[in-house]
Structure 1
Amino acid sequence: MNVMQIAVARAINATGQVLLVRKKGTVAFMQPGGKIERGEEAMTALIRELDEELGLCVAASDLTFLGQASAAAANEPGVIVEAAIYGLLVSTPVIVGAELEEAVWIDPADPGALVLAPLTRDCVLPLAVSEQ
């Protein structure tokens, strides 16, 4: 089993909705973030990814480390993602860019009929619900 190190944001807005994104050519929604490059710190990777994917200019002081979690990768069979999860309050509009197709704000307790990545479904949304 291959393991991929990633950093993701449990991004919420002022009303407690959680931001999910979907990459081009995929069906599963997940947290914004991405792979940690060799020699890169998790927080640095997340700040880079948030800028590339959503046009969010985030400082390290804007992020709160929430923990680590592992799950099956949504788009890569046979891969496990090990995620560093950071909390982020978003108060500015997001702009879908880079390899993203779509971004949505959802109620973490009721994501509706969206297809969710395992990490999102099993780890991140329950964390957001427990904080409401």
Structure 2
Amino acid sequence: MSGVIHVSAAVIVSTDGRALVVRKHGATVFQQPGGKPDPGESAMDAVIREIAEETGIRAAAEDLVPLGRFEAAAANEPGHRVIADAFVLRVSEARADASAEIAELRWITEHEVASTPLAPLSRTHLIGFAWSGSAA
């Protein structure tokens, strides 16, 4: 039986309509910033911490809009599934710095999604929230 990995993830969107995706060291695909909650840490607290660690973007709970829980094949752990508690964060500037385990980050437009190598969770469930009106 495959393993299950629980994470918190953020769809970060700038006012100019670009979405932030990150690529971790050793990975070939991009995904939303986020990661595994520490023991006893809520999904909200985990995503706030992970956004700051990975991108330098500081967010508060009131800045995040919950999207729900989503599941897909894990991008970097063969035979595993990832279950993500996801949130939207809208930021005024498309500025971030790759840090922690992040090798590269990109701000992409809706038109660049098809040509960007994305993790299954991002492509199937999350990236579209960047341009939908459902998480204003």
- Is the CA contact 2:12–2:130 (under 8 Å) kept in the aligned structure 1? no
- Is the CA contact 2:3–2:79 (under 8 Å) kept in the aligned structure 1? yes
Q: Per-residue CA shift, 1:11-69, capped at 9, x if unaligned?
A: 00002211100001111000001111221100100111111111111111111101110
TM-score (norm 1): 0.93
Moved over 4 A (4+): none
Calculate the aligned-residue CA RMSD, in Å: 1.5
- Is the CA contact 1:2–1:80 (under 8 Å) kept in the aligned structure 2? yes
Q: Per-residue CA shift, 1:65-100, capped at 9, x if unaligned?
A: 011100011101111111011010122421110010
2:50 is matched with: 49
Paired letter, 1:77: P
Cα separation, 1, equivalents of 2:77 and 2:107: 24
Cα separation, 2, equivalents of 1:70 and 1:25: 22
- Is the CA contact 1:28–1:117 (under 8 Å) kept in the aligned structure 2? yes
Cα separation, 2, equivalents of 1:127 and 1:57: 20
- Local SS of the residue matching 1:123: helix
1:106 is matched with: 108
- Is the CA contact 1:109–1:125 (under 8 Å) kept in the aligned structure 2? no
2:123 is matched with: 121
Paired letter, 2:80: V
Give matches, 1:1-40, under 5 Å: 1-40=2-41
Cα separation, 1, equivalents of 2:92 and 2:128: 22
TM-score (norm 2): 0.90
Ranges in structure 1 where 5+ consecutive residues have no aligned partner:
none
Asked if residue 97 in structure 1 is aligned to residue 102 in structure 2, the reply is no
- Local SS of the residue matching 1:71: strand
Cα separation, 2, equivalents of 1:122 and 1:4: 17
Ranges in structure 2 where 5+ consecutive residues have no aligned partner:
none
- Is the CA contact 1:7–1:45 (under 8 Å) kept in the aligned structure 2? yes
- Is the CA contact 1:6–1:33 (under 8 Å) kept in the aligned structure 2? yes
Cα separation, 1, equivalents of 2:133 and 2:105: 22
Indicate how the Cα distance of structure 1 residues 56 and 95 shifts in structure 2: closer, same or farther if over 3 A, else same.
Answer: same
Paired letter, 2:122: T
